[in-house]
Amino acid sequence: MGTPRIDFLYLNEEDMIKAGVTEMTGCVAAMEEMFKLLKIGDYRMGGPNGNSHGVMMTFPAESPFPNMPVDGPDRRFMAMPAYLGGEFDMAGMKWYGSNTENRNKSLPRSILMLTLNDKDTGAPLAYMSANILSAFRTGAVPGVGVKYFSKEDSEVVGIIGPGVMSKTAFDATMAVRDGIKTVKIKGRSPKSTDSFIKYINEKYPQITNIRVVDTMEEAVRDSDIVHIATSSPTGDINEYPYIEEAWIKPGAILCCPASARFDDDFLLNRARNVADNIQLYEAWEEEMEFPAYHSIPIPAVHCMDMITEGRMKKEQIDDLGDVLIGKVPVHRKENEITIYSVGGMPIEDVAWGTIVYRNALEKGIGTRLNLWEQPYLA
């Protein structure tokens, strides 16, 4: 019989940094291993299909209750549970609240926490700050795609939307393609653009050719790798960033962790469409009102809509895991253009959170908290 006492480790943001949460090379490796486990089925996520992104709670447009919040941009709460097997063998859940108005209070738009739990008892093992963790795992997932689908001699990166997602996606790009020489940035404001330039100058002084461009076309043309991560309202697809096929360099990869729009003829007949987890997009297609692309603005969601309509065949979307385990070739043809959709999954948080947690245990980082000496109601 084990002791009924339960302690867990609390890791604040400073603790997470000390425990290696910003170590991008390790994060990319963790995401690659996670995708392999995903492909063989050694994982679970929420929902009846076991592949749900999470459960989201939103607020009404109007409310008769004075204390109840009302709907607004990015105003929601979300629970994202998962189990990941293999070397991770961990259950957990990311929980966050989001509100664009947070920025007026000098707060991030979303405030995130991750709980790790014993897979058998459900007891908490760790409770950790997850803003940096989530940002780095979000960037590392495009990094896996860049590692496999971009040309090894890639030199030019285009950035459309120089926010946090693009910063960590660029970190991951540098982790797998250290020959990058030129960065082109298309932002909406001098503030975000200047912040991105400062980020590059401080972390990658070897990159001396940084160009601010006025149009998405300039950011895309001649770029080997393009990261598209803008904040766009959903519902009207005409508001999504539009990328014309003629702008795209042969052999380029375009990473899409947010809204992006391409011509249907291009997606159907010439693009290499890759999804980070095809089952996630199938789950969205089941869960969201059709067409799901109006709610989830990622290109692979549009592909799922076209499959539903009978305009596209499922075989026209490759699953990243199939590439990693060798079931599908890395390249189907020379100089193909890869549209890589990134949806985000809680198994990613569990994967990187588990490694950071174990680093913290090994290094004696964090604060040990007691849940109980003995459960009152056992």
Q: Which CATH number is 193's domain given?
A: 3.40.50.720
Interval 273-277 mean pLDDT: 96
Instruction: Mark whether 253 and 330 lie in a shared domain.
Output: yes
Beta-ladder partners of 58: 76
Interval 247-267 mean pLDDT: 97
State residue 41's pLDDT score: 94
Q: List the CATH number of the domain containing 43.
A: 3.30.1780.10
Interval 4-10 mean pLDDT: 97
State residue 33's pLDDT score: 97
Domain range spanning residue 43?
6-133+347-372
| Rounded CA separation 355/119 (Å) | 16
| Rounded CA separation 300/257 (Å) | 10
Instruction: Mark whether 119 and 158 lie in a shared domain.
Output: no
Residue 1 lies in a domain: no
Residue 193 lies in a domain: yes
Instruction: Compute how many other C-beta atoms are within 10 angstroms of the C-beta atom of residue 2.
Output: 5
Quick one: pLDDT band at residue 232, thresholds 50, 70, 90? confident
Tens-digit pLDDT profile for residues 63-83:
999 999 999 988 999 999 999
Counting the structural domains of the chain, the total is 2
Interval 261-268 mean pLDDT: 98
Per-position DSSP letters for 30-95, written without gaps between them = HHHHHHHHHHHT-EEEBSTTS-B--EEEE--SS-SSTTS----TT-EEEEEEEEE-TTT-EEEEEE
In degrees, rounded to 5, the angle at the alpha carbon of residue 214 between the alpha carbons of residues 143 and 217 is: 60
- pLDDT higher than threshold 90 for residue 298: yes
Residue 378 lies in a domain: no
Instruction: Compute how many other C-beta atoms are within 10 angstroms of the C-beta atom of residue 320.
Output: 27
State residue 136's pLDDT score: 97
Averaged pLDDT of the chain: 95
Residue 314 lies in a domain: yes
Token pair, residue 143, equals 């990094």
Instruction: Mark whether 89 and 104 lie in a shared domain.
Output: yes
| Rounded CA separation 255/344 (Å) | 13
Instruction: Mark whether 81 and 96 lie in a shared domain.
Output: yes
Quick one: pLDDT band at residue 2, thresholds 50, 70, 90? low
Tens-digit pLDDT profile for residues 18-66:
999 999 999 999 999 999 999 999 999 998 888 888 999 999 999 999 9
Instruction: Mark whether 241 and 293 lie in a shared domain.
Output: yes
Q: Do the beta carbons of residue 312 and residue 291 sit within 8 Å?
A: no
Q: Do the beta carbons of residue 17 and residue 334 sit within 8 Å?
A: no
Give the percent of the chain with pLDDT over 70.
99
Instruction: Mark whether 89 and 215 lie in a shared domain.
Output: no
Instruction: Mark whether 80 and 175 lie in a shared domain.
Output: no
Q: Do the beta carbons of residue 278 and residue 252 sit within 8 Å?
A: no
Tens-digit pLDDT profile for residues 163-213:
999 999 999 999 999 999 999 999 999 999 999 999 999 999 999 899 999
Residue 377 lies in a domain: no
Sign of the CA dihedral with 295 first, then 300, 302, and 304 last:
negative
Tens-digit pLDDT profile for residues 84-120:
999 999 999 999 999 989 989 999 999 999 999 999 9
Give the percent of the chain with pLDDT over 90.
90
Whole-model pTM over 0.85: yes
Instruction: Mark whether 72 and 128 lie in a shared domain.
Output: yes
Instruction: Mark whether 49 and 77 lie in a shared domain.
Output: yes
Instruction: Mark whether 148 and 79 lie in a shared domain.
Output: no
Q: Report the candidate in 172, 170, 175, 171 with the shortest Cα–Cα distance to residue 185.
A: 170
Instruction: Mark whether 367 and 288 lie in a shared domain.
Output: no
Instruction: Mark whether 55 and 165 lie in a shared domain.
Output: no
Residue 161 lies in a domain: yes
Token pair, residue 119, equals 């897979």
> How remote is the C-alpha of 122 from its chain's centroid?
26
Residue 81 lies in a domain: yes
Residue 365 lies in a domain: yes
